[in-house]
Structure 1
Amino acid sequence: MERAVEVDRGAYPDAVTPWEQGAWREAVFAWVDAQLARHGMRLSGTPRVRLRPWSVLMRIPMGRAAPVWFKANPPAGVFEGPLTAALARWVPEYVLRPLAVDAGRGWSLLPDGGPLFREMEATPRAWEELLGGYARMQRALVPRVGDLGALGVPRLRVSEVPASFDRLRAGNSSLDPDQRDRLDALGTRLADWCAELDALGVPDSLDHADLHEGQLFHPGPGRFTYFDWGDAIVSHPFASLRIPAQRAADRYGPEVLPRLRDAYLDPWTDLGLSAAELRRAAHLAWRLGALGRARAWTRLFPSATGTTDAARSLLETGDAPPF
């Protein structure tokens, strides 16, 4: 018998996902039931399924207990489950510990993480805390770069960024001639910026690549849980700063940016770089944050490399850093 579910397709009513396949749905529920039973749990109520081109996410009610979450990643993000499990071993204070992971199928079963940060009455100080915590996690993961690659997390060294930029620009069919000219002019300057950034010597780490207030939980004062690692990449860690800093500036104004930048940079002071050098690295890496979004759109949607989302992110690489 078909399970009763509520389905949310959002702004993507025509998106084709594995959920359309009855056998796939049956396999999901069989796996979920088995994994819940391993933990002495069982579904109680009607699941809600959110279908998006990049994932299938199901909220599984547990009666009076907190819900459990099933997630299925597309092939380009299949590493997320094993990555989440590995992060739970390496940096458990910063992430969710999955209840189960099927690495081959890209499936994860996750506990509820509490209230989302975007649901809280946050202050600029809270944003400083979340960025400082995130940077401490990245700093702790520097020795794990090889392990992250073994899990299938993509890697892009700073020295490889200009070639990646050229490939993304050449493969994007939605750019008009004027936009292509702007990107052509930007290419040479980007190579110079990347050379300077690389020379500063900040080591690669894990870049979430889409860290915003809807991608972290805030279960208590000073506590933050970072999740949704499907866009992650091993690259220059400071590229992560752009998205959360922009979100905070939109809310509180650009005057908060220096404080947020310095809170993020504080855990990196043990590298032996001066404050001025760290700030220069953050300034240079700002552009890599936009390029990371262009790469994510292209990687997750390889048949639609000319999407306007990827083009917009490419063009935003030319935006001057605001600090």
Structure 2
Amino acid sequence: MTVQDTLRRWGSPEWRREASTWIQGAAASDCRTLTGQMRTLHVRFWSVVIEVPTDRGRLWFKECAPGQGFEPALLSILAELEPDHFVRPVAVDAASGRVLLPDLGTNLRGRGDEEWGLVVAALARLQQRLSTQHDPLASAGLPAMSAGDAAEYVDVLAQRLANLPASHAQHLTVEAATRVLSRLDDVAEWSERLAASPIASTFQHNDASPANTFGRPGTEPRWIDVGDAFWSHPFAVLQVPIAMTTGTWPWGPDWSDPRAQVIAEGYLQQWRDHADLASLRDLLEPARRMAILHRCESWRRLLDDAGELADDPSHPILRDHLVAATGERRP
């Protein structure tokens, strides 16, 4: 199913009726009664989200695009493994990529650097516990993208984009492809530093943004939206929350920024039994680049249909991610 097919389906009256029936049945099975009209929050090429008012609080319905269809099953497993950090879904239909979630309250937009340092510290501890849970997470559909695969990933995708027609929105020009491919040795160097580090691969949320993080001061943070996640080097998880809180999204953060340093320090302190702080800090920049490749692959799996990339300039441009990950802050 192409991106446009998915969007047309979500916009159809037939899908709306069918989804409404599923939502009402799922709410009833949890002893909830709808108390008002359901409201569509967004319809984007990666998901459709609907707000559902009930007599026991709001629910949130989400149906994922095929490229992220594993998310409901993954959320269920994470809620079993880490109930303090992931809420148990009210209902899941893994085959359809659907999930119904309870409301988590107010997210962490606008919180200060010190509080975010505590949040990422909790995220580090979560990752350490989940490092032993590869099999259940993989069985739920969590993709893997190890640091050691970075150079090959860049090589293969750059050549694929270069071979697209020049008119294609995702086309990589000869000049840009030459520039990206000339940096493969550099990519291999920084990715091998990550792979050789004493930090084991684990759950990498890949979108632990302020909008997706919930919790009051003094409580354990909770996360939603795991459709971008990977099994990979954990330090890549810092790129989204720190870049967004320091205003350097999508290619940041700048590790010389004092705000970025304050937040990152809270995270790195949790790994001090693995290596000294100086060695851990040396992994931040390679991890930032790895995170950009994770985002690139997340977009690719959404835009790729049976080997054909969607040709739409309004979609994320994969070549920008390759250029940024291989050395340039701004493509």
Tell me the equivalent position of 1:55: 47
Contact 2:186 2:326 in 1 (8 A): no
Tell me the equivalent position of 1:192: 189
Using the TM superposition, give the Cα deviation of residue 102 of structure 1 relative to its aligned residue in structure 2, in angstroms: 0.9
Structure 1 residues 236 and 246, CA gap change in structure 2 (3 angstroms):
same
Q: What is the total number of aligned residue pairs between the two structures? A: 306
Q: Deviations over 1:148-169 (max 9, x none)?
A: 1111111112221211111221
Contact 1:215 1:228 in 2 (8 A): yes
Code of the aligned partner of 1:186: R
Using the TM superposition, give the Cα deviation of residue 31 of structure 1 relative to its aligned residue in structure 2, in angstroms: 1.7
CA distance in 1, matches of 2:328, 2:281: 14
Tell me the equivalent position of 1:310: 318
Contact 2:23 2:100 in 1 (8 A): yes
Structure 1, 215-224 or 309-318: larger mean CA deviation? 215-224
- Percent of aligned positions that are identical: 27
Tell me the equivalent position of 2:59: 68
Tell me the equivalent position of 1:128: 117
Using the TM superposition, give the Cα deviation of residue 14 of structure 1 relative to its aligned residue in structure 2, in angstroms: 10
Contact 2:194 2:233 in 1 (8 A): no
Structure 1 residues 150 and 216, CA gap change in structure 2 (3 angstroms):
same
Using the TM superposition, give the Cα deviation of residue 319 of structure 1 relative to its aligned residue in structure 2, in angstroms: 4.3
Using the TM superposition, give the Cα deviation of residue 13 of structure 1 relative to its aligned residue in structure 2, in angstroms: 11
2:104 counterpart of 1:106: no
Contact 1:298 1:305 in 2 (8 A): no
Using the TM superposition, give the Cα deviation of residue 282 of structure 1 relative to its aligned residue in structure 2, in angstroms: 2.4
CA distance in 1, matches of 2:296, 2:129: 27
Tell me the equivalent position of 2:259: 256
Using the TM superposition, give the Cα deviation of residue 107 of structure 1 relative to its aligned residue in structure 2, in angstroms: 0.6
Q: TM-score, normalised by structure 1?
A: 0.87
Structure 1, 180-189 or 106-115: larger mean CA deviation? 180-189
Structure 1 residues 17 and 94, CA gap change in structure 2 (3 angstroms):
farther
2:252 counterpart of 1:232: no
Structure 1, 175-184 or 27-36: larger mean CA deviation? 175-184
Tell me the secondary structure at the aligned position of residue 51 of structure 1.
strand
Q: Deviations over 1:232-285 (max 9, x none)?
A: 1111111111121112222899211222222112222233x2222222222321
2:82 counterpart of 1:91: yes
Structure 1, 253-262 or 279-288: larger mean CA deviation? 253-262
Return the match for 2:209 from 190, 208, 212. Answer: 212
In structure 1, stretches of 5+ residues that fail to align are 1-11
Structure 1 residues 139 and 17, CA gap change in structure 2 (3 angstroms):
farther
Structure 1 residues 305 and 187, CA gap change in structure 2 (3 angstroms):
farther
Tell me the equivalent position of 1:3: none
Using the TM superposition, give the Cα deviation of residue 15 of structure 1 relative to its aligned residue in structure 2, in angstroms: 7.5
State the structure with bigger RCO (CA 8 A, min sep 6), 1 or 2: 2
Q: TM-score, normalised by structure 2?
A: 0.85
Contact 2:299 2:316 in 1 (8 A): no
CA distance in 2, matches of 1:175, 1:282: 28
2:280 counterpart of 1:291: no
CA distance in 1, matches of 2:6, 2:18: 21
Contact 1:216 1:225 in 2 (8 A): yes
Tell me the equivalent position of 2:155: 166
Contact 1:197 1:281 in 2 (8 A): yes
Structure 1 residues 223 and 85, CA gap change in structure 2 (3 angstroms):
same
Using the TM superposition, give the Cα deviation of residue 90 of structure 1 relative to its aligned residue in structure 2, in angstroms: 0.7
Tell me the secondary structure at the aligned position of residue 96 of structure 2.
coil
State the Cα RMSD in Å.
Answer: 2.4
Tell me the equivalent position of 1:31: 22
Q: Deviations over 1:92-146 (max 9, x none)?
A: 111121111111111100000100111xx42111111111111111111000112
